[in-house]
Structure 1
Amino acid sequence: MKALLLAASAALLLPVSVLAQSEAPTPVPPEGSADLGSLPVQALSESAPPPAPAEESKAGPRQLGEVVVTAQKTKQSLRRVPASVTALSGDFIKETGAADLADVSLYVPNSRVDADDIGSPQVFIRGFGTNAFNPSFESSVGFVQDDLYFGRPGYFTESMFDIDRVEILRGPQGTLFGKNTIAGVFNVISKGPTSEPSADARYFYGGQGEQRLEGGMGAMFGEHFGGRVGFLYREQDGQTYNQFLDRYEDSLQQQAVRGKLKLASGIWSSELMLLTSETTAPFWPFQLMKLDADTRTYLQHFDANIEDDPYNFRTSFDTPGWIEKGSDTVALKNEWAMGPVAGLKDFNTVLVLGGSRFRIDQLNELDVSPADIARLDNHEDHQQLTAELRFTGKADSLFGLGTGLEFVGGLFRYDSDYTLLARIMAGQDLASYLLTDDAAQLASGGALSSSPLGFLGSFDLSNLGLLTGPLISNGDYYQFDYTQKVAANALFGQFTWNWTKHFAITPGVRLGMEEKKISTKGQSHCQIKDALPPGIPAPPCVMELLLGSSDYDQPDKKRKEYDISPKLSMQYFADHGVNYYVSYARGDKSGGINAISLTGEKLEYNAETAQTYELGAKGRFFNKTLNTSLTLYQTDFDNLQVLAFNGVLFDVSNAGTARSRGLEADFQWLTPYRPLRIVGSLGLLDAKYLDYPGAPAPISQGIGAKQNLGGQRIAFAPKATGTLTPSLTYEFGEVAFTLAGDIIYQGDQYTDVDLDPATHVDPYYQYAARFIVADVRERWSLSVGGTNLGDKRVLNQVTDATFFPGTYFAQQAPGRQLFAVVGVKF
C-alpha cells in the first residue's frame, strides 16, 4: 500500500484517469488560448494509431496525447471536465484481458462491479450503489451506451465488445444523465465507421477453457455512406465445481452482434445502430460457509461429502439451475451541424431515438444444498423507448461579457414497461427439512437454539421425500406478479461561461417528472387451496407456512415524483497548465413499490436524494509527459434506499441518512527512461450511515433482530483501493516487445448490509502481468499473461443462507487465470 500512496502523492492534481492514451504530439492551441481551452481534437469515432518512431522523432519529444470524452454530452478534452471522471480506452481494456465491466472496475478508484449473478449485478461508486436482487430497486449507477440510457441493472452484464472507450463518472450526474444516476454513470462508447477501411479481430484463450473471439470491420465508403459490424463469441467452462451435479456452475456462453450504418450529406448525418446479445449459464456459483452442526448432519444424508470451505471452488446442490438473458436494441442518431445561427457558433442539433427489450428467464436453487427444499423460477421482461433532443453551441461572450461560452441543453423522454413473474417452489425434500432445527428456528423467529425436534436431524430423512414429496411439493409455491410502467420527462441545460482568460463558471439544472403505475400481487398455491371454490377458507399451504407469507393484491398503485437536479462548478485555469475546480451537484433516485414482498406490508419506499461537493485539480507536467489528478469530495444521502434480507429474499426500505467522504487520484507518466511508462490510481473512502434505526442485525443476535447502524461503515465500501501499472516497451526494427504488470489493492470491507463479522473481507493484493509482442504499426500482436498470479482466494460476497440460520452463502472471486491473445488489424 505504501508504494501506491507514494505513487499517488506525485499526482496531486486532476480527477480524470487517462489509463491508455497514445504517445502523440499534442496539437498546438490557437494563439492566445490557454492550454486547457478548446483544443483541436480527433473525431471520437477515429482513434488514430500512435506514430511510428521515425515520425515521432520528426514531431519532437514524446508527449501524452489528448483524450476526448463526452462526459458533458459534448466532445471536449478530458482535462477540461470539472468532475471526477475516469476514461479507459478499448485498447487498454483488451490489453489487461478484461472481459466485462467487473474487470474494468478494478482500475477505477472507488468503483466496484460484481457480475457473479449476471441477472442481478451489483454496481457501487464511492460506497453507494444497488444490490439488484429486488427487481423493483432502481440502479443508483446509470448505464449509458452510445447515447442511450438503459433502465435495468442487467444491462451491465450484457456483452461488452468492439469498445472505443469507457467513461466512469463519479457522483450525482442527474443534470445531464437524468434520474437514477445518483452515484454516477458508466458511459460506454462502441466503435463506429472510420474514414479509411479497417478490420480487426482478436482471439483470447484462457484458463478453465475460456475463449473469446471478438472483432469488427467497417469504413466510410465515400463521403455519404459507411458502416461497421462488430461481433463477440465468448464461452468458458467455469471454476466452481458442483460435486452433486458433476458440472461447473460458473460456465458461460455469450454471443453478440452490433451493426452501425451511417449516412451523411452536407451538414446532416444519421447513424442507425442495431445490437443483439444472448447469454446462457448455469445458476448460480454459490458455496456454503460455516455449516451448523445440525445443518451438516442433515445435509450429509444427501451428500456424504458436504463441506463448508468457501475457498476451494466446490459446491453441492441438487437443482440443475440455468439462466438465459439477452437484449435487442435499435437506435437512430441524427446530427445537424448547422454552424453559425443567430450569433452562435458551431450550433449543433442531436436527436437520439432508441428502443430496447431486455429479458431474463432463470431457474435456480434457493437453499444451495443437496437437499431439494426450494427453488426460484423467475421471468422478467423489460421494454423501453427513449428520445433525447439536445442542442449544443458556442458564443464569443455572454451578452458582451467574458471571453466565450459553450452550452448544451435539451429534452428527454423515457417510457418503460416491466413485468416480473416469479415463484418460490417447494421441493421434494421439504417434508424432511420441516423436522430440522433450522425449520424450527425459522418458524419461531427467535434466537438460534435447538428445538425439541432437533434429534430427528440425526436420522436419515433423505428418503422421506419419496413418500411425502409429491403430496407437499406438487403445485405448492408462492407466486409474485409485478408490473411497472414508467413515464419520465425532463428538461435539462447547462453552459460554461469563460468570464476571464483564467476563470470559468458552469451552472446547470434538470427539471424532471416521473410517473409510475404499479400492480403487485403475492399469492400462495397448493393442491388443496386451489381446488376449493372461491370464498371458502383454505388451510395454509406448506410453502406459505415456511415463508411466513400471506396473500395480498395491490393493483393500480401510482407514484408521481418531481425532481430538480442542479449543478454548479467554478474553474481556474492557471498559467502553469493546471485546472482547479470546485463543484456542487444534486441528484435523485426514484422511490417505488417492493416487488417481492412476502406479506404485502410496508410496500412503498421513498425517493433517495444526494448532494455532493468536489474540490479537484488536474494538470500535466514535464513537457506534457505526466498527467495527474486529485479529487476530494463529500456526498450526503437522505432517505438512503437499502435491501434487507427477510430470510428468503430482500425487502426494500429507506435507511435514513448516510455520508461518503474521500479522495480519488490517478496519474500517467512517460518517465525519463523512454521505455518505461507508469500508470496508477488511488481511492480513499469513508462511507458510513449517519442514522439507520431498525437495520437488520447479524443472525447471531437472533432471526429478525434489529440494530441501529448510525456511525457504522457501509457495506461494499473499502477504505482504500489502488492500482499501479508499470510497463516497459522496447522496439527492434518493426517489432515492439512490452512487459507490463498490475498491482491491485482492495481494502477490507463488509459484504452484507447487517455488517455481520462473517461477511467481512480482509484487505488483499492481487498481481497481474502480460508480455506482448507486436508490430509497431499495429498490424498484429501476440500476448501471454495472467491475472491473480498469486492465486489469492477472496470472497466477493457473503450473505445469510436461505433456510439455514447461522450458515452463509459465499461467492468466491476467480483464482489464478492464465491467457494468450492473438490480434490482427487490416
Structure 2
Amino acid sequence: MPNIRSLLMASACSPQGLLCALILTTVGLPSPVLYAAPRVIEEVIVTANKRAESAQDVPLSISVVGADFIEDSGLADVGEITRYIPNVSFDASLALYTSITIRGFGTPPLGVGFEPSIGLVIDDVPYGRSTFAQDAVFDIGRLEVLRGPQGTLFGKNTLGGVLNFHTKAPTVEPEGYIKYSRGENVESDRVEGAISGPLLGERLLARLAFRYNDADTLEYNSTRDEQQTQEDKAVRLKLEAQLGDTLTLKFNGLYAESVTKGYTQSLFIASDRSLRVFREYDPRTEDDAFDQNTSTDAPTYSDREVEAISLSAIWRPDELLGINAPELTTIASWSEVITPYALDVDYSPVPLVAFNQPPKGNPYTAESIEVRLAGGLDAPFNWGEGVDFVVGVFAQESTNDVFQDIDVSLNGLIAFARAGAIVQNIQLPFDPLLIDLPVMLPDLIPGIIERERYISATQSETQSFAVFSQFNWVLTNRLTATAGIRYGEDESEGASYSRVAAGNSISGGSLNQRDFNAPNLRSKETNVSPKLALNYEALPGVNVYINAAKGFKAGGFDPAPLNDDNLTYKGEETLTYEAGVKSRLLGGSLTLNMAVFDSDVDNLQIRTFSGVTLTTFNAPKSSSQGAEMDFFWLPPLDGLSIAGSLAYLDAKYDSFKEGPPLFTSEQNETQDLSGKPLPYAPRWSASLSPALQFPVLGSQDIFGSVRLNITHTSERYQDSDIDPNTLQDEITRIDAGLGLRSESGNWSVNFQARNITEEQDSILILDQPLIPGNYTKTPYPDQTTYQLDFKVGF
C-alpha cells in the first residue's frame, strides 16, 4: 500500500452522508480546487533488502503502512492494521496464541510453543514468537509487509513472508508527545507518549516511549459475576551513540506486560439438551456469541510478560577490501516472553476441566547474533554498472518450556455426559434427567475422590545457524538481476511426558490421555533456500519483475501432548513464483502495484482441536495461488487522497488424506481434506480509504479531516478441519473518522467510529470439548464502537 502514511489527510462521508453534512455546515468546507499540475506522492523508503531503497524498486510484493495512517485511524493493534494489507491476517484471541497468516500460510492458532511461519522483525532484530508483534505498535514509524519467502535476508522461519516493524528513532532535536484515547462501547483508556533528543550533543541520542491501556473486553461472565478486562503496559528505551565518524552503536530495551482477565471465547452453537444441563449451573447460559456474555466457572486469565534487549554496531569505513560504501553490521539480541495463564477449557458453567497456571509461566527465551556486510562492487567482467550485495551469518539459541496442569471434576464429567458429551467413548442417547432443576444437582462423587489431575510438558532447546547472501547486479540502467542463497541448520533436543498427577484416571480415556515419558527427543535439519529475481524498467516509472524463492521452517516437538501419538512434526518447505508490476503514473500522483503468485508447500504444519485435545499435523501437499493489488492516488482535488487494495487467494490442501477429522459421535480418526480450502484464508479481501483534508474556516493554521475506511473479507473457515460450522460469513466493515490538527502538528484531535455497518466478524471458531455439534467462537464487537484521541506534541 504505497505511502499509506499520507492518509494523515484522511476524510470522507458516512454511508448516509451525515458526516459530510456535519462538516459542511459547521466549518464551512470550501469547494475542492483543481490543481494545475498533479501532486506528487512522496517516495516510500523500505529496508526489504537490508538497505534503504524505494519500495517501487524492490522486486517483490510489499505493503507499507505508515505512522500517520495508524495514528489518524486510532489503530493500536496489529490485527486492526492488517485489515488494510492484502492477503494478510493476524489472530490474537489470546496473547499466548497469537498467529500471523500471509497468502494462506502461517503459524496455526492455538500454537503455544510454536515457531512462527511468518518472520517477525522489529528494528532489525528477529523475534521467535508472533506475540512480540504487539510490542511494536506504539511510537511506531512504519510497518513493511513482505510477502513470499524471505529467508535469504531475514533470519529463520520466513516461509510465508515477513512483518518488518520500524519504531521511531532518537532525534537530534528535542521532541516528544503524549496522546490520550478514550473508547466507548468497548470502554478503554489508553495513554501513549515519547520523549526524544540529545543527551551528549549529537554524539548520544535517546528516545523513551511508553504505552498504557486499560480496557473492557466487552464480555461479562455471568457464572462468576465478573467483568472481563484487559490491561496492557510497555516501555521502550532507544539509545544511539556516534563514536567517531564511522561507528554507530544502537541500544534497544523493551519491557511489556499484558493481562487479560476472562474469555472472549463463548458458546456459539449448543444443543437444547446441553443448554438445559448448563442452565442448572447458570440460568443465564446461552449460545449467542455476540451478546457479550460468557458462562465459565473457573478463573480464566492470560498474562504476557516480555523483556528484550539488543545492541547493534554499524561500521561505515571509507574503504574496506575494495568495497564501495561498505557497511558492517553486528546485532546481538536477547528476548524472553513468559505466558502464564489459567483457562476454563470446557467453555461452560459446569466445573469440568480447568488449566491451572503453569509454575514457570511457559517461558520462551532466545539469544541471537547476526553479522552482515553490505556494500557495492564493480561490475564483474565489466558487464553492467555494478553489484550491490549483502552477506552474513546468523546464529540463535532458544529454549522453550510448555507445561499443562489440568484439573478434571468427575461430577462435572457426569453433567457433561448428560449434556451429550462422549465420555469413555460412550455418548448417552438422551439425558437421563429430562427435567429442569431449580438448583444444581448434588455432588454424586465425594470430594476425596472427585478430582483428578493430569500434567504434561515439553521442554526443548534449539540451536540454529545460517550463512546467507544476496546480490543485486545492475546489468543496465533499466535491468537488475538478483540472486540470493541461504544455508541453514536447525538442531533441537527435548523431552515430553504426560502422567496422572493426582487421583485416578477415570477421566483419562475421555481426554485421550495416556501416561508416557519421552526423554530423548532429537531433531536435526539442514536446508538450502535460493532466490532469483529480475527487475526491468519497461517504461519511465513502470517496473516489471519476476522472482522465484524457496523457504523453509524446521520441524519440532508437539507442545505438552496428552499422549504420544504425535510427538514430533516435520519441517515445512515452500517454492514460490511471483510476477508483478510497480508503477508511478499520472505525473507521480498515482502509485499502482500488482502481483500474481503461485506457492507450493510440503508438510504444512497445522494445529487443530479434535474436540478432545490439541494435535499437530503435517499436510503433505498444499498450495496457494492468487493476485494482489494496491494503489495510492492524489487526485487533482485539493486535499483529497484515495488508497485501496484488492486480493484474490486460492489456498488449499492439495493432498491430505489423513487430515484431522470432524468431531462427531462416530469418532472418526481422520478425514480426507485433499482439495479443501486452507483455514483462515478468505478468497477475496479488499480495502478502500478515501481521505480529505481542508483548512478550517479558511485558516492556514488549523486543518480538518474526514476519513472513511472500508474493508471487505469474504467467507473463510476458522478451524483446520474445515468443518462447515466453522465457516465465517463474509463481512464489509466501514469505519469513519473526523479530525482537527494544527499546521505544525503540535496538537491534534481525532474521532473514530468503527464498524458502522455492525458486522458480525470473528477470529476463531472451535468445537466445544467432548460434545459433538457444539461450538465456541471468539467474536469481534458487532456494535459500533467510538474512540476519541487527543495528542499534544512538544
Same fold (TM over 0.5): yes
Q: Which stretch shifts more, 617-626 or 599-608?
A: 599-608
Tell me the residue number matched to 1:410.
392
CA pair 340-202 structure 1, distance change in 2 beyond 3 A: same
Q: Which amino acid aligns with 2:683?
A: K
- Correspondent of 1:400 among 350, 370, 382: 382
Q: Which amino acid aligns with 1:658?
A: S
Q: Secondary structure at the match of 2:786?
A: strand
Is 1:696 aligned to 2:660, yes or no?
yes
- Correspondent of 2:460 among 484, 487, 492: 484
**Per-residue deviation, residues 58-105 of structure 1 (Å, max 9, x unmatched):** 999631111111111111111111111111112211111111111111
Q: Which amino acid aligns with 2:195?
A: M
Is 1:20 aligned to 2:1, yes or no?
no
Is 1:683 aligned to 2:647, yes or no?
yes
- Correspondent of 1:521 among 482, 497, 511: 497
Structure 1 residue 499, shift from structure 2 partner: 0.8
Written as runs of structure 1 = structure 2, the 5 A alignment for 1:383-782 is: 383-427=365-409, 429-433=411-415, 435-436=417-418, 438-439=420-421, 441-444=422-425, 450-451=428-429, 454-456=431-433, 458=435, 460=437, 463-464=440-441, 466=443, 468=445, 470-474=447-451, 476-527=452-503, 540-700=504-664, 702-731=666-695, 732-782=699-749
CA distance in 2, matches of 1:682, 1:437: 45
CA pair 730-469 structure 1, distance change in 2 beyond 3 A: farther
Q: Which amino acid aligns with 2:545?
A: Y
Q: Which amino acid aligns with 1:401?
A: W
Q: Which amino acid aligns with 2:425?
A: S
- Correspondent of 2:227 among 222, 245, 248: 248
Q: Secondary structure at the match of 2:153?
A: helix
CA distance in 2, matches of 1:702, 1:296: 22
- Correspondent of 1:216 among 165, 177, 194: 194
Tell me the residue number matched to 1:334.
313
CA distance in 2, matches of 1:102, 1:289: 22
Q: Which amino acid aligns with 2:319?
A: P
| TM score, norm. by length of structure 1 | 0.89
CA pair 697-346 structure 1, distance change in 2 beyond 3 A: same
Written as runs of structure 1 = structure 2, the 5 A alignment for 1:140-155 is: 140-155=117-132
CA distance in 1, matches of 2:212, 2:605: 37
- Correspondent of 2:763 among 796, 799, 816: 796
Is 1:285 aligned to 2:264, yes or no?
yes
CA distance in 2, matches of 1:62, 1:512: 47
Instruction: State whether residues 499 and 515 of structure 2, in contact with CA within 8 Å, keep that contact through their aligned partners in structure 1.
Output: yes
Q: CA RMSD in A?
A: 2.2
Q: Secondary structure at the match of 1:175?
A: coil
Is 1:301 aligned to 2:280, yes or no?
yes
Structure 1 residue 23, shift from structure 2 partner: 10
Q: Which stretch shifts more, 328-337 or 302-311?
A: 302-311
CA pair 86-465 structure 1, distance change in 2 beyond 3 A: farther
CA distance in 2, matches of 1:581, 1:71: 15
Q: Which stretch shifts more, 325-334 or 170-179?
A: 170-179
**Per-residue deviation, residues 469-503 of structure 1 (Å, max 9, x unmatched):** 523444x2111121110100100000100111211
Tell me the residue number matched to 1:105.
82
**Per-residue deviation, residues 206-263 of structure 1 (Å, max 9, x unmatched):** 12321111111112352311111001011102212222222233x2101111001111
CA distance in 1, matches of 2:773, 2:233: 40
Among all aligned residue pairs of Structure 1 and Structure 2, give the percentage whose two residues are the same amino acid. 29
CA distance in 2, matches of 1:128, 1:138: 13
**Per-residue deviation, residues 155-201 of structure 1 (Å, max 9, x unmatched):** 23446211111111111111111332111111111111112111112
Tell me the residue number matched to 2:137.
160
Structure 1 residue 676, shift from structure 2 partner: 1.1
Q: Which amino acid aligns with 1:823?
A: K
CA distance in 1, matches of 2:705, 2:390: 42
Tell me the residue number matched to 2:31.
none
CA distance in 1, matches of 2:488, 2:76: 36
Instruction: State whether residues 512 and 613 of structure 2, in contact with CA within 8 Å, keep that contact through their aligned partners in structure 1.
Output: no
Structure 1 residue 712, shift from structure 2 partner: 1.4
CA distance in 1, matches of 2:458, 2:671: 31
- Correspondent of 1:261 among 203, 220, 239: 239
Instruction: State whether residues 432 and 462 of structure 1, in contact with CA within 8 Å, keep that contact through their aligned partners in structure 2.
Output: no
Tell me the residue number matched to 1:534.
none
Tell me the residue number matched to 2:780.
813
Instruction: State whether residues 655 and 691 of structure 1, in contact with CA within 8 Å, keep that contact through their aligned partners in structure 2.
Output: yes
Instruction: State whether residues 3 and 43 of structure 2, in contact with CA within 8 Å, keep that contact through their aligned partners in structure 1.
Output: no
CA distance in 1, matches of 2:436, 2:506: 22
Q: Which amino acid aligns with 1:374?
A: V
Tell me the residue number matched to 1:226.
205
Tell me the residue number matched to 1:3.
none
Q: Which stretch shifts more, 591-600 or 665-674?
A: 591-600
Gaps of 5+ in 1: 1-15, 25-56, 528-539
Tell me the residue number matched to 1:182.
159
Structure 1 residue 743, shift from structure 2 partner: 1.0
**Per-residue deviation, residues 342-386 of structure 1 (Å, max 9, x unmatched):** 332110000001111110111010111111101012430111101
Instruction: State whether residues 371 and 429 of structure 1, in contact with CA within 8 Å, keep that contact through their aligned partners in structure 2.
Output: no
Tell me the residue number matched to 1:823.
791
CA pair 132-493 structure 1, distance change in 2 beyond 3 A: same
Is 1:67 aligned to 2:35, yes or no?
no
**Per-residue deviation, residues 377-425 of structure 1 (Å, max 9, x unmatched):** 2430111101000111013423422112111110101111111221121
Tell me the residue number matched to 1:367.
346
CA distance in 2, matches of 1:677, 1:58: 13
Instruction: State whether residues 344 and 353 of structure 2, in contact with CA within 8 Å, keep that contact through their aligned partners in structure 1.
Output: yes
Instruction: State whether residues 442 and 703 of structure 1, in contact with CA within 8 Å, keep that contact through their aligned partners in structure 2.
Output: no
Q: Which stretch shifts more, 558-567 or 213-222?
A: 213-222
CA distance in 2, matches of 1:394, 1:483: 44
Q: Which amino acid aligns with 2:475?
A: W
Q: Which amino acid aligns with 2:749?
A: L
Structure 1 residue 648, shift from structure 2 partner: 3.0
Instruction: State whether residues 99 and 131 of structure 2, in contact with CA within 8 Å, keep that contact through their aligned partners in structure 1.
Output: no
Instruction: State whether residues 159 and 552 of structure 2, in contact with CA within 8 Å, keep that contact through their aligned partners in structure 1.
Output: yes
Q: Which amino acid aligns with 2:459?
A: T
CA pair 256-582 structure 1, distance change in 2 beyond 3 A: same
CA distance in 2, matches of 1:382, 1:261: 26
Q: Which amino acid aligns with 1:150?
A: Y
CA distance in 2, matches of 1:563, 1:473: 51
Q: Which amino acid aligns with 1:19?
A: I
CA distance in 2, matches of 1:22, 1:281: 32
